Structure 1
Amino acid sequence: MEDNNNLKKIQDAIESLPDNFSILEEQIDVELQMEYFEFTKDKTNNQPIEDFAEVEKMLYEAEATDEAKKKLLVRLAGHDKVEAFRIIERFKAQAEGVLRNWSILAIQESRMILQSSLLDEQQVFISTGLGGRDQKIRYFITLLHQNTEEEFSETEKKLIEDEFQFFLKKSEGELEEMNFVNGFAMGLFLFPLKNNLQDIFRSFIEECNQYGNFLREDVIITNVKKLNIEEIKGFLSQEQKEETDENDTEQD
């Protein structure tokens, strides 16, 4: 019951979003995103900038640490000046690794602040680990064979891909990739944020199972990161252990 209430709260929050929300497109580690947001809360990283040219020069200094550059980018992103936005853009074009992803987050914040200032209305920005496009969120899904040690047949693989694409398109979704490893079908897809994601899976699995009842009804889905086989198996083992513990508790 608690899970259903949480899902309802999430759905209610999504439905209340304005039409002009924006979504982070790039796939950026959630922990790095949280670190960025913590930086923005620190008042020492929100000091006003008097000389933008000097700050840009500091960003390229070889002796400057990544930590110092992160703080400068956050300071720039907090200004409602086009000049600050352009500086971040130029830095991102040559940045690599963590600093490139940090620059992407800074650009998003800078763009929001500029739009809020120009349009005189609050902007809503949504970010996930897997990113998205337009008003669609990217998800990673794992579909499970009834026996995860048994490989999907070629017919089952084709059926899964064809039917999944069909049901996604009906809801304006888009399948980006689908891979099969033993009894696991792992996909990456885009889906409109405001559409009900749960509805398509029930119908999709029912349709596939008309041809042999080979898919489990349960699926693993996340918008945080792409999972590898070890992580998927670990999740299933943990879920099985929790179910066993729960059954033992009920018997006691």
Structure 2
Amino acid sequence: MSQEQNDHMDSFPDKMNIFEKGISEESFNEFYKILGGIGNADEKYKNDLISAYRSSPKSCSEQEVKKALVLLSKKGDVQSYRLIERTYNENQNLSIKNIALVALRNARMYLESELMDEQFGIISTGLGGEGNKLRYYLAFRPRDREDCLPKGDIFSRMESLCSTLKSKVENVEEVKGCYLFKILLPTDLAVGVLAEGFIEKNELLLDSYFCTNVEKPDDAQIESWIEDYG
């Protein structure tokens, strides 16, 4: 990592507002509907919208504020993140606050991607969290179903790793021959650090994993993942 990246990391947001109830599906849908609606808009229109919101947010309509939040969430800089955060903390309009919360999640991922020169998937959370931790479902596949470890053993292995990463494993169950964990991870910990570390420490697992923090995956989602990755 370059010195410039290190300097930026020092100013990286170290605290996020976590709601144990998570984010509603309606908020996700509205966010991505707005994103789809302005995705192909003229760049000048987008830049003017952001500039207007930065300089005079109170003069913007509710819909303009929401569009600006969506656009800001893709900027990949600390200034944009802080503006979204301030909107969430100060704006009393519940509809705008909900969009701001989704935008915060996306903004953090874009910011990490910019600073680390790596492409992270955009993760949205509907599962909520606890304290400064977000809740995720992580699924892993054994190389051979005949070599599956008992749930108690695989839980203990994950619990051991989580203890070193200030994380907490809440549960594990077997779904379609896979291990499905429910885990709480600190907001400043990349999911891949835990997932790839767990695979590295357990040679019986394949090197792909499934991750979501929108909702608990059903059998169909797990089956689709298995089919996609062979």
**Structure 1 length as normaliser, TM-score?**
0.49
Gap change, CA 1:151 and 1:125, over 3 Å in 2: same
**Count of matched residue pairs:** 158
For the residues of structure 2 that align with 1:185 and 1:232, how far apart are their CA atoms?
A: 10
Gap change, CA 1:181 and 1:36, over 3 Å in 2: closer
The two structures, once aligned, show a CA RMSD in angstroms of: 4.0
Aligned-pair CA distance for 1:186: 0.6
Structure 1 position 25 matched with structure 2 position 20: yes
Partner residue, 2:170:
176
> Which letter does structure 1 place at the counterpart of 2:21?
E
> Which letter does structure 2 place at the counterpart of 1:233?
E
Aligned-pair CA distance for 1:195: 1.9
> Which letter does structure 1 place at the counterpart of 2:144?
N
> Which letter does structure 2 place at the counterpart of 1:235?
W
Partner residue, 1:42:
63
Gap change, CA 1:153 and 1:239, over 3 Å in 2: closer
Structure 1 position 109 matched with structure 2 position 97: yes
Partner residue, 1:135:
132
- Rg bigger for which structure? 1
Gap change, CA 1:215 and 1:142, over 3 Å in 2: same
Q: Which runs of 5+ in 2 are unaligned?
A: 35-60, 67-86, 106-123
For the residues of structure 1 that align with 2:159 and 2:89, how far apart are their CA atoms?
A: 43
Partner residue, 1:247:
none
Structure 1 position 194 matched with structure 2 position 194: no
> Which letter does structure 2 place at the counterpart of 1:191?
L
Aligned-pair CA distance for 1:41: 4.1
8 Å CA contact 1:130–1:139 kept in 2: the answer is yes
8 Å CA contact 2:176–2:222 kept in 1: the answer is no
Partner residue, 1:231:
221
Gap change, CA 1:33 and 1:195, over 3 Å in 2: same
* Secondary structure of residue in 2 paired with 1:237: helix
| % identical aligned pairs | 22
> Which letter does structure 2 place at the counterpart of 1:152?
C
For the residues of structure 2 that align with 1:133 and 1:107, how far apart are their CA atoms?
A: 23
> Which letter does structure 2 place at the counterpart of 1:21?
M
For the residues of structure 2 that align with 1:182 and 1:133, how far apart are their CA atoms?
A: 28
8 Å CA contact 2:62–2:96 kept in 1: the answer is no
Structure 1 position 167 matched with structure 2 position 161: yes
8 Å CA contact 1:15–1:194 kept in 2: the answer is no
> Which letter does structure 1 place at the counterpart of 2:97?
E
> Which letter does structure 2 place at the counterpart of 1:236?
I
Q: Which runs of 5+ in 1 are unaligned?
A: 1-8, 46-76, 86-105, 113-123, 241-252
Gap change, CA 1:107 and 1:160, over 3 Å in 2: farther
Structure 1 position 220 matched with structure 2 position 216: no
**Structure 2 length as normaliser, TM-score?**
0.53
For the residues of structure 1 that align with 2:186 and 2:8, how far apart are their CA atoms?
A: 15
